[in-house]
Structure 1
Amino acid sequence: MSASSSRVAAEMVCNGDAQSVSTGVNYPEIMVIRHGETDWNVDGRFQGTLDVELNETGRQQATAVGERLSKEGKISAIYSSDLKRAFETANLIATACGGLEVIKDPGLRERNLGDLQGLQPHAAASVCPEAYKALLSQKTDQELPGGGESIAQVYQRCITCLRNISVKHKGQRVVAVTHGGVLQTLHAQACPNNQPVKFLNTSVNIFHLSDGDNWVFKSGVDISHLNQIDYLRTGYGGDRSSC
Structure 2
Amino acid sequence: MTVGKWRSEGHIDSELNDIGRQQAVAVASHLSKQEDFVAIYSSDLQRAAETARIIASRCNLPEVILDPSLRERHLGDLQGLTMRDAQKQKPIAYKHFLSAKRDQELPGGGESLIQLHERCTSFLENLARKHEGERIMVVTHGGVLRELYRRACPMEPLNGKIMNTAVSVIHIHENGQNWTIKKWGDVSHLEEVGAKEDAFGGDKTSG
TM-score, scaled to structure 1: 0.78
Counting only pairs closer than 5 Å after superposition, residues 132-211 of structure 1 correspond to structure 2 as 132-197=94-159, 198-211=161-174
Aligned to 1:230: 195
What is the letter of the counterpart of residue 171 of structure 2?
H
Distance 1:233 1:88, change over 3 A: closer
What is the letter of the counterpart of residue 31 of structure 2?
L
What is the letter of the counterpart of residue 169 of structure 2?
I
Superposed CA deviations along residues 22-61 of structure 1, whole A, max 9, x for unmatched, are xxxxxxxxxxxxxxxxxxxxx6210000001100110111
Shift of 1:158: 0.2
Describe the SS at the equivalent of 2:93: helix
Shift of 1:177: 0.2
Q: Which runs of 4+ in 1 moved over 6 A?
A: none
Shift of 1:233: 5.7
What is the letter of the counterpart of residue 123 of structure 1?
D
Alignment partners' CA distance in 1, 2:138 and 2:194? 22
Shift of 1:236: 2.3
Which sits farther off after the overlay, 172-181 or 196-205?
196-205
Gaps of 5+ in 1: 1-42
Shift of 1:199: 1.2
Shift of 1:195: 2.5
Aligned to 2:58: 96
Instruction: Indicate if the aligned counterparts of 1:184 and 1:237 stay in contact, CA closer than 8 A.
Output: no
Instruction: Indicate if the aligned counterparts of 2:165 and 2:199 stay in contact, CA closer than 8 A.
Output: no
What is the letter of the counterpart of residue 195 of structure 2?
D
Describe the SS at the equivalent of 1:237: coil
Aligned partner (choices 52, 55, 60) of residue 14 of structure 2: 52
What is the letter of the counterpart of residue 168 of structure 2?
N
Aligned to 2:91: 129
Give the structure, 1 or 2, with the largest relative contact order (CA under 8 Å, sep 6 or more).
1
Gaps of 5+ in 2: none
TM-score, scaled to structure 2: 0.91
Superposed CA deviations along residues 186-216 of structure 1, whole A, max 9, x for unmatched, are 0011111222242100000110011212111
Describe the SS at the equivalent of 1:64: helix
Superposed CA deviations along residues 144-193 of structure 1, whole A, max 9, x for unmatched, are 00110111110110001100111111111110000000000000111112
Aligned to 1:216: 180
Describe the SS at the equivalent of 1:153: helix
Aligned to 2:44: 82
The percentage of counterpart residues that share the same residue type is 50
Shift of 1:234: 3.6
Shift of 1:217: 1.1
Describe the SS at the equivalent of 1:90: helix
Instruction: Indicate if the aligned counterparts of 2:16 and 2:47 stay in contact, CA closer than 8 A.
Output: yes
What is the letter of the counterpart of residue 43 of structure 2?
S
